[in-house]
Structure 1
Amino acid sequence: MNALTEWLMKSKLRIILIGLLIPSIPLLMLAGFIYLRLADDMSQLLKSKIAMIVTNVEDRIESGLARDLAVGQTFATRPHLLTMIEQGDLDWMNRHLQHLIENMEHMDRVTIVNTKGIQLANYPFTHETIGMDFSGRDYFGGVTKHWSPYVSDFFLRTAEPMRYVFSISVPLIKEGVPLGILNMQPKADYFDRLLEGTIVPDGHIIIVDSKGYLVYSSFAGDEILDPIDLSALPVVQKLMQGQSGLEETIDAETNVPVFTSYRPVGDYGWGIIVDVPTRVVMAPLAGIITWMAAVTLLLLLAGGFFGYRWSLMLESEKNFAANLHQKTAELIVKNNQLTQMNEETERLNQQLADASMAKTSFLANVSHELRTPMNSIIGFSQILEDGFAGELNEKQKEYVGYIQSSGTHLLSLINDILDLSKVEAGKMVLEPGRFPVRNALEEAAAQFMDRCREQNIQLKIDLEPQADLELEADERKFKQVLLNLLSNAIKFSPDGGLVSVTASLTIKKAVGLSMPEEGSALADREFIEIAVSDTGIGISLEDQSKLFKPFSRLESACCKNYEGTGLGLALTKRLVELHHGQIWVKSEFGQGSIFTFILPLKQAG
């Protein structure tokens, strides 16, 4: 030690250098190790996320194509359409195609060709292509090979507007005899619709066809007008060979390192590529790097200072070791805390998902189990009230009446919960049939006549002549909607009030609160519109947003005196929506309310 001290004392620069080197070497090594470890962990996490994104994109594309093929196959079985194809009726074929376009808003163009590839009809209608031979198109050969549905490869459409498109095609077969092919061409934003909500951090999604041409890029907007050949890229070549994987490559356009995940799309020959810059891995580490650099700088300055003061060098080394150990322990603790927080977040998210799934099942099971004892309570209380178990005195009759009314109210609540849980679980099935609107309105109103007489409430039904017709819907659920709305209207109306039910026929009424645009999918449909109005207490604007939520009751002081479960309007809304309808309210506090709902005259097939 004395020899070393003597050697150091020969030059102040030696003392400073040793003082700097002693703390800097282990600290820089530790910092490098921590940085590399964190960078590797973040890199693996990002790779896993990119792989999940690619899988999600593939699932969305395959699901969208399968859904559209199913719709096309259903449409292709229309008996009237097949008859019109046999008869060569262009007008009727175009009407059917127009209806298909109106119900598939993501489709740009649909055509029908016969078994020889000659175009018979198209929509939007273009006279120039009628009679043209399309037997050379990929979709024609793909369908006619086995007369089965087929998704074609991409091709440059020559008709205006020119763009790179593909076809979704299904055979038109009547009684086992092929009549032709229904060919659907999606709109330019087809993939944008399928991938809506898919987030790629600082990266982008690319889709190529079987020949390696670019058909979609999240950077390119809605349309790719001219084919862009990417087949020379190594990743695209692997896709064309049916391979999938995840690699670190250099982006050909930006020349920056990226993580590239790629995967074929089913059996269609297409490929998905997701690129994310590797710098995304560095972003979360920026704060750690800054902090470590600051600590390193401070320790280097301290080492130089204590090195210059050689007499304090040993103490300086001791303090440095203690300080280094403390900082390392803090890093480990923070890393462990972060890991625990992530695990806890994942656990809570899973619990929330499990709770949401269990809620509906629980409500349905509990409601079902409660109905049997409640029916017994109501039945036996009715027996007591009717005197079958012996004559009751007035007090006993009063108490039995309380049991009867409370049991009936509780059974109604149980039934509402059961119905609501069925709707939320997707198990509520409509049983559509045809019935007169007038009969349904009068039968619903008849159930409240005694109650209206007791409260001196006038109940009016106004059925416009155009609405005096038969409606195709689930009659029981239609009446349930009417009963819920009438019950609320009468309950919140004062003695001597007025409750009105108005029925009218509405044309060009979209399922929503506003009129549709011309040419929209629902523009030419007819709806029955039912409005239930009252002269009751009304609803404030802030309370209206809560009306159709389960277990939600109005908070106004005047509303708390009225009995209710908070389920009636929520169930009513879901029953209307099951019929592809819409319900809304117009009300002012103190001015009464008007609840209006619309249903299509015919349910979609």
Structure 2
Amino acid sequence: MSADKPGVVDGGAEHAGLALQRKLSLVDLLDPLTFGDVVDSLGTLFHVGVRVIDERGRTLADTEGPGQELCDALDATAQGRARRGASVERLGEASSGALAAEPWSHPCLGGLRYLGLPIVWDGDVLGRVVLGPFVAEEAGDAAEGLALVDGLDVARARGWLAGVRRLSEADVARVRTHIAQVLAALLAAGQKSYLTGQLHLEAMLETQRELESQNTQLLRLNQRLKESDRSKSSFLSTVSHELRTPLASIIGYSEMLAEGLVGGLNPEQMQFVRTIMEKGNTLLKLISSILDMSQIEAGKVRLAFEWVDVQELVESAITSVMPQAQRKGLTLQQRMPAVVQARVVGDREKLRQVVVNLLANAVKFTPGQGRIDVRLSDLGPRAELGVTGYAIEVEDTGVGIPEGQRDRIFQSFYQVDDSPTREYGGAGLGLAIVKSYVEGHGGQVSVRSEVGRGSCFRVVLPKEPPLSSQGPAYIPPPVDTEPERF
């Protein structure tokens, strides 16, 4: 048997939906590594060479049996090479064409023989198994023809020939039956595995097609949501601008009436005018918050960074909410660093609004006679940010926040008490604005709370905003020429 090496066969990618209609090949049905081991085992078992060839003439598996040394010796002589070439050609003719569908036996030089077995599955000839060389037990002296080959060492050739397996007709029949059974089992398992794999692939492809279709729909819906969100932000911005002008006039005329610029008012009239002013200012704050939130969502907020005295900023914010706290009988305490706080980089107005919103939130949700503490830390390393920074804490003895709602309070328009008869007013924008401004400075905001015992909001900010927050909206601060104060 010649020493051709098994070829590398590409099965080709085909649509899994054609798996049941497609004519399968040996390459589809047989695993190359496993099948190669089986062929090697058959060659060892029967002490004979075994080669498996598909219908296109490609060798899928090959194991050499005894007799290869004799074949090599014959190929080393001109006469032996010519006679072996003719035998191989006849062997190829016998194993192809119409004859390939039937078992065949072919004599070769030196009394050797080859046996061909077709591989048939579902009525299709998928290839053939070639066994040999072997010597028929009834052949007598198989070495007589070797003496006719000029240049061949007959003595050594006889020794090689003696090692070739001799098979009787009964042995040949048993070998054929055994190989046929092994192939039938391998092909059945291979077909099951192939069809299972193809059907699984088809299911995966169908799932992928569905996911791609759903993804396309989600992308379209997301685009619509973005457009809707932009429209909402634009609408809120426009309405807020339009409402502020007449509202400012209402508040202005109310102030003139309260000051007596158009004549005196009796006590009842004065109370009505002050109510108009109070409600007008409340509405103006709400409109300003909506305008700020719409600008944040539209990405139009510009952070004008400058050198800021944080202690002075916090004290200013406390001053702005002190009247409301006093009207409710709240105790407002501040704890500042023992050493005067060094200056930091930030947007002064945005940072002040952060502190004011947190204080206003604490005042609103703290019952009368309660307490609010404002704490400002020293500058120092901040593990949360990985840089030097500071922390501002606003703690109250108010109603507290349920655990399941603490992650949602920073969302726009979210209210912890969303019942129709809400006790506390507001639009639910204050904390959303706080979160946006703090993160714009590269900081973090968090809350810890216990229902009925109060809440503590903690803002951690870097001394200087990181580069990641200094995008198109970044306005660099001027050079700080003043030395840090201690």
Could you tell me the TM-score, scaled by structure 1's length? 0.41
Could you tell me the TM-score, scaled by structure 2's length? 0.50
> Highest CA radius of gyration, 1 or 2?
2
